[in-house]
Amino acid sequence: MRRLNEGDKKSDIRWKIANIIVREAAKREYAIVMDKLGKRPAENMVKRIKDKQLRHRIYQASLKGAQIAIDEKTREHGASVLYKEPKNTPKYAQYIELRLTTVIAQG
């Protein structure tokens, strides 16, 4: 049996997390709300970040890949996913969505 390289490990973790989020949302009949991400979302996120290590971790996060995995799993499990424009969302609404996704992820 071969060992997974770093790229395979990241992909495996991304799909497992997407599966957990979507299963919990489907079980509780919740909708998953995500921002519409552009082609290179990490570039816009790191514009004001000075810490090199944090910038590197944001680039390594594969945010678009996670969004695609969640989207595919929602089709598989029959859950709902909603996309919203990030620039039209007030800050407090983002906090509420973050809390909601935390609750879904924690079970």
**Does residue 100 have a pLDDT over 80?**
no
| Selected residue with higher pLDDT from 94 and 76 | 76
Q: Tell me, what amino acid is at 85?
A: E
The DSSP 8-state label assigned to residue 85 in this structure reads -
Residue 14 lies in a domain: yes
Using 50, 70 and 90 to split pLDDT, how confident is the model at 69?
A: very high
Angle between helices 6-28 and 91-106 (to 10 degrees): 90
Residue 1 lies in a domain: no
Region 75-80: mean pLDDT is 89
- The count of structural domains within the chain is 1
Residues 6+ away with beta carbon under 8 Å from 5: none
SS3 category, 76:
helix
Residue 84 lies in a domain: yes
pLDDT at residue number 90: 59
Residue 70 lies in a domain: yes
pLDDT at residue number 7: 74
Record the pTM: 0.69
Residue 60 lies in a domain: yes
pLDDT, one tens digit per residue, over 6-50 is 778 888 888 999 999 999 999 988 888 888 887 887 887 788 888
Whole domain around residue 39: which residue ranges?
6-106
Residue 37 lies in a domain: yes
